[in-house]
Amino acid sequence: METPVQKVRFGTRGSLLARTQTRWVADRLQQLHPQIEVELVVIETTGDKQRDRPFTQVGTKGMFVKEIEEALLQGAIDVGIHSAKDLPSELPDGLSIICIPPREAANDVLIAREACSLEVLPKDSVIGTSSARRRAQLAYIRPDLRFVELRGNLDTRLRKLKEGQCDALILAYAGLHRLGAEWEGLITQILPKEVCLPAPGQGALAVEARADRADLMALFATLHCTDSACTLEAERSFQAALGGGCTVPMGASAYLDGDWVVLDAVVISPDGRQRLFDTHAGLRSRAREVGTTLARRMLEHGAKALIEEHP
């Protein structure tokens, strides 16, 4: 008979947000299984080591997960806790996503030095963001805006905002909400998805483990949210079918409507001048097919040209 799990070692990045998210998962696991001992193991990833370099120079594929996945394969940790949007479309052999906890809202938010909305930001305002997806979508709405590369932890970005290095930041709502009311109170506007469609997986957490750890799969099944997993599957399958390695900014966000899953997606040129938006729906039991179908249709209707034009 298999020995019950007595301790779970959680691999996490060292940022305040990553540790907060990992602690959130660990606390909920202990609420359901008080006998389980938990340990947080901080792992520095490539993305953390090279904070001063733009994402395009570092190479974004797996930059925040690679070292955690290596620790999983080596048996140094039992599970890795990731922001789902950081996970590449394909996982390394031997690893599996064993749990998707309940998801937060996926929207992006504006944090401005003076309380205002995107619509009333002064002309030529400077927006700090490291995301090509956010830059392109905001440029489509407000071509007068200027953008500066802004990486680092949340407190570092907020300090740069206060110092006047930019007029506003664009961040994910989910992270600020998980950090608590003090951080969430900094938000000056929650951006509608019609303005800035989120990245695939934004707002969701993913628990990754070795595929041969059936004991952990059974343990974390009590935390798994099937609704969140369904929307995430549609978004990730879209990303994979579109071509996860392309540098063209893209967003994808799914929601549930009864027995249906509805997926919205956008592919946009880096300068924001060319934008292709589409939506597709299907039975939630076929969420993966919803994503792949929409990606193929968008590739046929112009997304392929955008990707080939901006490799």
Based on the domain organization, do 301 and 176 belong to the same domain? no
For residue 302, the enclosing domain spans 235-309
Any domain includes 70: yes
Based on the domain organization, do 92 and 213 belong to the same domain? yes
Domain count, the chain: 3
Based on the domain organization, do 252 and 271 belong to the same domain? yes
Any domain includes 91: yes
Any domain includes 199: no
Mean pLDDT of all residues in the chain?
A: 91
Q: Which residues are catalytic?
A: 86
CA separation, residue 168 to residues 107, 178, 220, 223 (Å): 16, 21, 39, 36
Question: Within 13 Å, how many C-alpha atoms sit on residue 172's CB side?
Answer: 24
pLDDT tens, position by position, 270-288? 999 999 999 999 999 999 9
pLDDT above 70: percentage of residues in the chain: 92
**pTM to 2 decimals?**
0.91
CA separation, residue 277 to residues 16, 180, 265, 284, 295 (Å): 35, 33, 6, 21, 11
Based on the domain organization, do 44 and 170 belong to the same domain? no
CATH code, domain with 93: 3.40.190.10
Based on the domain organization, do 210 and 90 belong to the same domain? yes
What string of DSSP letters covers 87-136?
A: S-SSPPTTEEEEE-PPPPP--EEEEESSS--GGGSPTT-EEE-S-HHHHH
Based on the domain organization, do 82 and 112 belong to the same domain? no
Task: Average the pLDDT over each of 49-53, 226-230, 289-293 and give the range with the smallest value.
Answer: 49-53
Based on the domain organization, do 74 and 140 belong to the same domain? no
CA angle at 25 for the pair 19 and 31, rounded to the nearest 5°: 130
Q: How far apart are CA 263 and CA 278, in angstroms?
A: 9
Based on the domain organization, do 97 and 210 belong to the same domain? yes
pLDDT tens, position by position, 4-40? 899 999 999 999 999 999 999 999 999 999 999 999 9
Any domain includes 196: no
Q: Which residues pair with 14 in a beta bridge?
A: none
Any domain includes 254: yes
Based on the domain organization, do 13 and 84 belong to the same domain? yes
Contact 135, 251 (CB under 8 A): no
Based on the domain organization, do 83 and 163 belong to the same domain? no
Residue 143's pLDDT band (cuts 50, 70, 90)? very high
By CB neighbour count within 10 A (0-12 exposed, 13-18 middle, 19+ buried), where does 123 fall?
Answer: exposed
Q: What sign has the CA pseudo-torsion 72, 27, 29, 90?
A: negative
Based on the domain organization, do 36 and 95 belong to the same domain? yes
Based on the domain organization, do 64 and 149 belong to the same domain? no
pLDDT for position 1: 43
Residue 267's pLDDT band (cuts 50, 70, 90)? very high
Any domain includes 274: yes
